[in-house]
Homo-oligomer: A and B are copies of this chain.
């Protein structure tokens, strides 16, 4: 039951929180904007306000249930904190997002931060390029 995640996080189990968590768990797309979640809620007949979606997502982030990413444009996307940390590649043409994890990069980041006297806490890494997906409007030949 997903409610356990909420309880563990010290969050009261409410209908909006459950529904939002459900959407994050079941959506095809792993990276969702607040608006996209809001629309899915409306589509499924839930009358939940956009402000609540933003509020809940921010709480989920603080609780470590989701992470907030800035991949493109000016809209943040949220994704469920599943396995472990990873970074992202975004297609400039079609917006497709792929995930990767590279221990070499992670290690170098730690070393670099240390050299500069920083106690590293986090990082944001996004690669941008053109994908070769058949659905991509600008598929390199």
Chain A: residues with CB nearer than 8 A to chain B? Answer: 70, 74, 89, 91-92, 98, 100, 102, 104-105, 108-109, 112-113, 116-133, 140
Contacts of A122 in B (CB 8 A): 127-129
A100 adjacent to B129 (CB under 8 Å): no
How many copies of this protein are present in the complex?
2
A111 to chain B: closest residue by CB: B102
Interface contact B104-A117, CB-CB below 8 Å: no
28 residue pairs A–B, Cβ–Cβ below 8 Å: A89-B112, A89-B113, A89-B118, A89-B120, A91-B118, A98-B116, A100-B116, A102-B112, A104-B104, A105-B105, A105-B108, A105-B109, A108-B108, A113-B129, A116-B131, A117-B133, A118-B129, A118-B130, A118-B131, A119-B130, A119-B140, A120-B128, A120-B129, A122-B128, A123-B128, A124-B124, A124-B126, A124-B128
CA A112 to CA B99, docked complex, whole Å: 10
B89 touches A116 (CB 8 A): yes
Q: Are A127 and B118 in contact (CB-based, < 8 A)?
A: yes
Question: Are A121 and B125 closer than 8 Å at their CB atoms?
Answer: no
